[in-house]
């Protein structure tokens, strides 16, 4: 294995580890929130929503900061290590809070720790993806590696997190801390190959991004795509547990039915987008993805709804790597960190929207309307941005490397 392929694999493992740490908490979030002193009952959606929103609020606030800072310093690996270790420490802090005798009064502190943990973890996640983008071999291939790592990390995290929750609601916190510590150790083996042209001021990088409105197109798709992921992470889990009466382990398995095909198809479909362009994967994929989401919500039986989660994963895998690759197509090498940081800001806003919109709609009028809102939002962005994607695909297709490492 040559150095580029080895580093691609190592960085993909780092992305995988961060996602494992994050998703371990999702299947049993209602149990975990109760153990940490929040919630008014087993299926208190609002408490779970606050717990997840706190982390992603920091993702939004700090994603572009990490990216721009790494571009300005010309360094990424040390920042990834710092972010991963800081995220691990936040999980240890939650475990410490759970031991306090006045547990009912500590949920505000729990949310504060989640804010700090999110600020650190997004550095490890965003910069690992940026380092993948720095590698040669085709943006679709590199983003496909990131996508498969995200999908497999989420798949393993959802299955293991559900199983751990049945043993102890706090057990996923131990596993998350261990996963991020492993990420920090792993990344120290990667040579920091940040391009010299990235060593510019943070303000210069952000001004260059503001001057490139074309980034709004992939950012908008990233927002909606991540909104659906946030929706399933919160509302989807509560839906399957409450509507079909399954436990955290089964709910985690259902999430894996989405994440496994989503992961396994990321790399080949990312490579496909290098050859055929971004238009079909992004636009057609988004339309099919949205319809499949709605189908899950209207399925009358658990078995059918679970099977449709596989279909959702397939279409999601068609969209995700092509959308990330479109960002790197548009960015100069010296602004990739800030460009992908901006993409992650919009993605994190999408997660927040998935939590908030999905949670509020489900609480107010039921689960089915929330599936309709999120699913048709995915269809709508594809229709509205169709011409813009076609134009950008034509402009940037010639810039996308076709060689492979």
Q: Are 144 and 255 contained in the same domain?
A: no
Asked whether residue 134 carries a pLDDT value surpassing 90, the answer given is no
Q: Are 6 and 115 contained in the same domain?
A: yes
C-alpha distance across the termini of the chain, in Å: 10
From 166, 188, 210, the end of a domain falls on: 188
> What is the pLDDT, as a whole number, of residue 337?
64
> What is the pLDDT, as a whole number, of residue 260?
85
Is residue 193 one of the residues assigned to a domain?
no
* Mean pLDDT, residues 271-282: 85
Q: Are 263 and 238 contained in the same domain?
A: yes
Asked whether residue 398 carries a pLDDT value surpassing 60, the answer given is no
Is residue 405 one of the residues assigned to a domain?
no
Q: Are 276 and 316 contained in the same domain?
A: yes
Indicate the SS3 state at residue 28. Answer: coil
- The pTM assigned to this predicted structure is 0.80
Mean pLDDT comparison of 60-64, 98-102, 302-306, 316-320, highest-scoring range: 302-306
More confident residue, 74 or 12: 12
From 155, 188, 221, the end of a domain falls on: 188
DSSP string, 105-116: G-HHHHHHHHHH
Q: Are 377 and 231 contained in the same domain?
A: yes
Is residue 338 one of the residues assigned to a domain?
yes
Is residue 394 one of the residues assigned to a domain?
yes
More confident residue, 158 or 396: 158
CB atoms within 10 A of CB 211: 8
Taking Cα atoms as reference points, which of 47, 48, 32, 256 lies closest to residue 166? Answer: 32
Query: What's the count of helices (H) and strands (E) in the chain, helices before strands?
Result: 18, 0
At 90-126, the pLDDT tens digits run: 999 999 998 887 655 678 899 999 999 999 999 999 8
At 172-198, the pLDDT tens digits run: 999 999 999 999 999 999 888 665 444
pLDDT band at 403 (very low <50, low <70, confident <90, very high): very low
* Structural tokens at position 287: 């339309």
* Mean pLDDT, residues 318-346: 77
pLDDT band at 138 (very low <50, low <70, confident <90, very high): low
> What is the pLDDT, as a whole number, of residue 41?
61
At 377-395, the pLDDT tens digits run: 999 999 998 888 888 876 5
Asked whether residue 324 carries a pLDDT value surpassing 90, the answer given is no
* Mean pLDDT, residues 46-73: 84
At 217-226, the pLDDT tens digits run: 888 898 998 8
Domain residues for 90? 1-188
* Mean pLDDT, residues 310-334: 85
> What is the pLDDT, as a whole number, of residue 137?
61
Q: Are 204 and 302 contained in the same domain?
A: yes
Q: Are 126 and 211 contained in the same domain?
A: no
Of 27-36, 144-153, 194-203, give the lowest mean pLDDT range.
Answer: 194-203
> What is the pLDDT, as a whole number, of residue 198?
44
* Mean pLDDT, residues 353-379: 92
Q: CA 336, CA 133: separation in Å to the nearest integer?
A: 7
Domain count, the chain: 2
Mean pLDDT comparison of 34-38, 265-269, 309-313, highest-scoring range: 309-313
Asked whether residue 73 carries a pLDDT value surpassing 60, the answer given is yes
CB atoms within 10 A of CB 109: 16
- CATH number of the domain enclosing 222: 1.20.1250.20
Q: Are 307 and 211 contained in the same domain?
A: yes
Q: Are 364 and 269 contained in the same domain?
A: yes
Is residue 194 one of the residues assigned to a domain?
no
């Amino acid at each position: 294995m040559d150095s580029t392929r080895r580093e691609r694999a190592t960085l993909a493992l780092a992305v995988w580890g961060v996602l494992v740490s994050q998703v371990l908490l999702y299947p049993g979030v209602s149990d975990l929130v109760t153990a940490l002193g929040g919630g008014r009952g087993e299926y208190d959606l609002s408490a779970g929503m606050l717990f997840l929103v706190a982390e992603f609020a920091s993702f939004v606030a700090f994603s572009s900061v990490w990216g721009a800072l790494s571009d300005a310093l010309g360094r990424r690996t040390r920042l990834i290590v710092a972010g991963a270790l800081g995220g691990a420490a936040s999980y240890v802090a939650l475990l410490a809070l759970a031991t306090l005798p006045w547990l009912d009064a500590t949920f505000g502190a729990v949310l504060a720790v989640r804010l700090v943990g999110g600020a650190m973890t997004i550095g490890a996640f965003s910069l690992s993806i940026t380092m993948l983008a720095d590698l040669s071999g085709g943006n679709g291939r590199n983003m496909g590696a990131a996508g498969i790592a995200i999908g497999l990390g989420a798949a393993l995290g959802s299955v293991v997190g559900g199983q751990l929750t049945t043993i102890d609601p706090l057990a996923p916190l131990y596993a998350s801390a261990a996963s991020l510590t492993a990420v920090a150790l792993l990344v120290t083996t990667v040579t920091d190959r940040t391009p010299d042209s990235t060593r510019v001021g943070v303000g210069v990088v952000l001004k260059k991004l503001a001057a490139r409105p074309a980034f709004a197109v992939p950012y908008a798709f990233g927002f909606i795509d991540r909104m659906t992921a946030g929706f399933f992470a919160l509302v989807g889990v509560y839906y399957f547990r409450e509507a079909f009466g399954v436990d955290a382990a089964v709910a985690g398995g259902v999430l894996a039915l989405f994440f496994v095909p989503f992961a396994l198809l990321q790399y080949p479909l990312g490579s496909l987008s290098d050859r055929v362009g971004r238009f079909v994967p992004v636009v057609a994929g988004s339309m099919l993805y949205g319809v499949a989401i709605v189908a899950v919500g209207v399925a009358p039986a658990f078995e059918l709804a679970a099977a449709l989660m596989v279909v959702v994963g397939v279409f999601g895998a068609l969209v995700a790597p092509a959308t990330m690759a479109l960002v790197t197509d548009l960015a100069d090498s010296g602004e990739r960190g800030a460009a992908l940081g901006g993409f992650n800001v919009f993605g994190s806003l999408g997660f927040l929207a998935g939590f908030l919109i999905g949670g509020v709609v489900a609480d107010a009028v039921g689960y089915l309307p929330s599936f309709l809102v999120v699913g048709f939002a995915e269809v709508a962005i594809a229709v509205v941005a169709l011409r813009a994607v076609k134009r950008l695909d034509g402009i940037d297709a010639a810039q996308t490397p076709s060689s492979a490492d």
